[in-house]
Amino acid sequence: MASIGREGLKGERKRIMFRDAEGKQKALRLGRCSERAAQTALAGFERVIEAHRVGSTIHPDGVRWLESIDDRLHARVARLGLVEPRERAAVVTVGELLAAFFRGVDVKPATLVRMKQAETALVDYFTEARDVTTIGEADAENWRANLKELGYSQATVSRTVLYARQVFRWAMRRGMASANPFAELKAGAQVNPARAVFVSRETIAKVMDAAPDAEWRLLIALSRFGGLRVPSEALALRWSDVDWEHNRLTIRSCKTEHHEGKGERIIPLFPEIREHLLTVFEAAPEGADSVVTRYRTGANLNPHLRRIIRRAGVAAWPRAWHNLRASRQTELAASFPLHTVCAWIGNTKAIAAGHYLQVTDADWTRATTTREAATDPATHKRPSAHTGEQGNARSGPETADLVPVGRECDGVESRPMGRGGLEPPTPAFSVPCSTN
């Protein structure tokens, strides 16, 4: 009586195909769902069709199915003329949903800016008056495609999709939406390799020479050689955070303070930072608290750094402060274990691999100019008896302890081995013969 149709490359979108009382082909779109969910819908929908054709009440299985589906799918069944529409609750518009969401959101200012960008993208496409229950998965896919047409980068599209998904998930928990049309929408990668640049020490030296004063040279050093987030972590630095005796700095991070135990971290007072920090310390007035005094926390230092870069006469790089921090993590990862470097930089291995670590020119040079004997077929030799695990075992402390013991043993006479071998001869073994 009815069958399941499948759409998409993997058949992830389902629809129920059937013929009405006049014999015309009709379809009930289910959207993305599992095969099991589609079969359940087919069984319930067939009960509805059956009751409509014979003019009887719907079988309890069909009633239970109708009660279990959301308003959007129920409205599709009603538009086919098979059931009466549900009594609609108060309409929630896109504008009302976003206003309610942002009234209760509690995030960092920079995050709020990006979330507001997602809000603008939703309103520009769907309008504030759009009923949220009328936004389906196809609408969400078209919205994402429109972002790409507008020239949004892949990373921005991905972030915007994730925020839209978050908004509608929030709405579902509060009964403002019956479904999340963005739930299955692929966000895509948030990494943009084209914006990753390793800033060499030679380049940063020119930039620091062009800096207007000691505080600015320190800010650049804190980012490039300490891996600090600028402005938030650098401007939060206090003189009480500096442990001159043990060469350590305590870094307070407002970005990660909402994670338990992640509000601060301790990093080495690297030599490249120490000299600039000492210069600023010697010029600081008596009783000064903040290390950097010319800016307040939250100041936008990007335009200032870009002007200094232009003054230095070097090519500007994207994400000016972030790439300084990423360059330091890349540099440290070549000399220290990654878990140690991540503890100093204040991120995770996954974030470091996706957004920070880079392949540098030095890596390519080393790979193409260094020849290891073990990998060169012309010079490859069989491993000696003192390499590998056996070699490690023989080079342990037990070996030296056995030397004096060996010296006290009797010497072994060196002579050719006879035909009888090394073992002493074994007496002949004879079997008595039977006398029977």
Per-residue pLDDT of the chain (436 residues; tens, 9 = 90+): 789 988 877 788 899 999 888 888 989 998 888 899 999 999 999 999 999 888 889 999 999 999 898 888 888 899 988 888 877 667 899 999 999 999 988 888 888 999 999 999 999 999 999 999 899 999 999 999 999 999 988 889 999 999 999 999 999 888 888 889 999 888 877 677 788 999 999 999 999 999 999 999 999 999 999 999 999 999 999 999 999 999 999 999 876 666 666 679 999 999 999 999 999 999 998 888 999 998 887 788 999 999 999 999 999 999 999 999 999 999 999 999 999 999 999 999 988 888 889 888 888 888 888 665 445 544 444 444 444 443 443 444 444 443 444 444 444 444 555 555 555 555 444 444 444 4
Say whether 195-364 and 94-190 share the same fold: no
As a three-state string, the secondary structure of the chain is CEEEEEECCCCCEEEEEEECCCCCEEEEEEEECCHHHHHHHHHHHHHHHHHHHHCCCCCHHHHHHHHHCCHHHHHHHHHCCCCCCCCCCCCCEHHHHHHHHHHHCCCCHHHHHHHHHHHHHHHHHHCCCCEHHHCCHHHHHHHHHHHHHCCCCHHHHHHHHHHHHHHHHHHHHCCCCCCCCCCCCCCCCCCCHHHCCCCCHHHHHHHHHCCCCHHHHHHHHHHHCCCCCCCHHHHCCEHHHEECCCCEEEEECCCCCCCCCCCEEEEECCHHHHHHHHHHHHHCCCCCCECCCCCCCCCCCHHHHHHHHHHHCCCCCCCHHHHHHHHHHHHHHCCCCHHHHHHHHCCCHHHHHHHHCCCCHHHHHHHHHCCCHHHCCCCCCCCCCCCHHHHHHHCCHHHHHHHHHHHCCCCCCCCCCCCCCCCCCCCCCCCCCCCC
Angle at 277 between CA 274 and CA 281, to 5 degrees: 130
Task: Please give the structure tokens belonging to residue 130.
Answer: 């759009």
Q: What is the pLDDT of residue 245?
A: 95
Between CA 199 and CA 323 the distance in angstroms is 7
Q: What is the pLDDT of residue 412?
A: 45
Q: Please state which CATH class domain 94-190 belongs to.
A: mainly alpha
The CATH number of 195-364 is 1.10.443.10
Q: What is the pLDDT of residue 254?
A: 77
Extents of the domains making up the chain = 2-79, 94-190, 195-364
Q: Per the confidence metrics, is the pTM higher than 0.85?
A: no
